[in-house]
Amino acid sequence: MANTFHRPTGPRAEYQEKQRQRVLKSTSLENEFPRLKSLTVKLEYHDSENREKRNRLKYMVNLTNAKSVFRFKCPNSECIRGDFDLTKEVAEAVRKHRTTVTGKMGCRGTTIKKGRCANTLHYTLLLGY
């Protein structure tokens, strides 16, 4: 008996698929930013009250394979049309030749139960040229 894969459906899944296609259609970071030689990203997710650190991630980006649309999913499984898009932050950092960028970004998604998602991403971009 063959295993079948059940693809999730609903507003969150539809949104995620559109975003996945957007990422796939973009050029690589290497092609988009030829001066950029390295990128390390440190992410820390916080809940809506900004008190719980949900996840931490340190990501050493492979510039050849990573896409120039640079986004991360919101960890809230009930969030619809949220997520964190750092595309503009990376582009601006490269344009200004910055080596370190820190910031935070609120999730713009919504949930059925609570309305606005309001999770927060704290990020650090470490860029090498």
pTM: 0.80
**67-101 pLDDT tens trace:** 999 988 888 888 888 889 999 999 999 999 999 99
Domain boundaries, the chain: 11-128
Main-chain dihedrals φ then ψ at residue 71, nearest 5 degrees:
-135, 155
Q: What is the helix, strand, coil percentage profile of the chain, to 5? A: 20, 35, 45
Main-chain dihedrals φ then ψ at residue 37, nearest 5 degrees:
-105, -25
Question: In 9-48, where does DSSP find H-type helix?
Answer: 11-25, 29-32
**1-52 pLDDT tens trace:** 556 655 667 776 777 788 788 877 899 999 999 999 999 999 999 886 666 5
Q: Is 109 in contact with 76 (CB distance < 8 Å)?
A: yes
Q: How far is CA 33 from CA 25, 68, 94, 103, in A?
A: 16, 9, 7, 21
